[in-house]
């Protein structure tokens, strides 16, 4: 069976399209971030796929909302025994209550959180979130400098933010790039893929053939990195 892959954006939603030797079009929404995949008959073109996605837009958004609700329900309690991912590696959380400045450290297979006694779950999450952001701040500048040289462009501003359904985004007019704080939990190759992806939007707005060709040229293994990113756990698990 022959197949062809296309990457589209429909009403702000990123869609993976696979054209196959099949009779009917199928739309699915996948965890953890609600990525949309379409399996379409080979006789269809991109415009027909876009129309089909628009026709199912309400259903797609409901599915994505349900996935986000599951994520909220599984929010970490920030207690010893949980596991949290750091750069793709699962670390067991150890909470140490003691006087002094709250901070986190990596030690062996552990992620150790030092906090004063009585610190709330919400504050513990804030400390972890800020720590993840710091991890990214230490890595992102080097990556951007590397790819500014590779691509011959300049990134005037980048921001780390928490996003529900996207790993990154880009404003082509201002060249401002946003990166999801969750990327600190993924393998560094995944972060690099998102950086290159967003910078490639400087050259091409949509996820069509030209965008795919540019990605193939600059980062030939981008598909495997994207797959690893989207298949990795979104949050930690309780051991």
Task: Render 173-234 in DSSP notation, one character per residue.
Answer: TTTEEEEEGGGGGS-HHHHHHHHHHHHHTTT-SSSSHHHHHHHHHH-TTHHHHHHHHHHS-S
How many Cβ atoms are within 10 Å of 168's Cβ, its own excluded?
Answer: 21
pLDDT in tens, 118-130: 999 999 999 999 9
pLDDT at 232: 65
Distance CA 151, CA 202 (A): 10
Q: What domains can be seen in the chain, in order of their start residue?
A: 3-73 (no CATH), 83-231 (3.30.2010.10)
Higher pLDDT, 34 or 121: 121
pLDDT in tens, 196-236: 999 999 999 888 889 999 999 999 999 999 888 877 655 43
Nearest to 25 by CA among 190, 47, 203, 63: 47
Distance CA 123, CA 120 (A): 5
Q: List the structure tokens of 144.
A: 């951007």
Most confident of 67-71, 96-100, 223-227: 96-100
The chain-wide mean pLDDT, for the chain, equals 89
Q: Inform me whether the pLDDT recorded for 4 exceeds 70.
A: no
**pTM of structure:** 0.76
Q: List the structure tokens of 216.
A: 């193939």
- Non-local (6+) Cβ contacts of 158 within 8 A are 140, 144, 176, 177, 178, 179
């Amino acid at each position: 069976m022959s197949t062809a892959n296309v990457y589209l954006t429909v009403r702000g939603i990123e869609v993976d399209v696979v054209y196959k030797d099949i009779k009917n079009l199928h739309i699915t929404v996948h965890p953890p971030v609600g990525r949309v995949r379409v399996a379409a008959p080979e006789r269809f073109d991109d415009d027909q796929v876009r129309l089909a996605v628009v026709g199912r837009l309400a259903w797609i958004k409901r599915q994505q909302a349900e996935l986000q609700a599951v994520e909220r329900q599984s929010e970490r309690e920030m207690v010893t025994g949980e596991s949290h991912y750091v750069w793709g590696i699962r670390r067991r959380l150890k909470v140490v209550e003691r006087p002094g400045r709250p901070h986190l450290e990596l030690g062996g297979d552990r992620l150790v959180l030092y906090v004063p006694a009585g610190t709330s779950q919400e504050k513990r999450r804030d400390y972890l979130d800020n720590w993840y952001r710091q991890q990214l701040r230490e890595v992102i500048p080097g990556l951007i400098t590397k790819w500014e040289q590779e691509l011959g462009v300049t990134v005037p501003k980048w921001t780390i933010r928490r996003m529900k359904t996207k790993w990154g985004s880009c404003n082509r007019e201002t060249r401002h790039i946003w990166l999801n704080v969750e990327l600190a939990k993924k393998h560094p190759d995944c972060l690099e893929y998102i950086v290159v992806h967003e910078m490639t939007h400087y050259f091409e707005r949509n996820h069509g053939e030209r965008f795919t060709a540019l990605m193939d040229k600059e980062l030939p293994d981008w598909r495997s990195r994207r797959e690893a990113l989207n298949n990795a756990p979104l949050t930690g698990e309780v051991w």
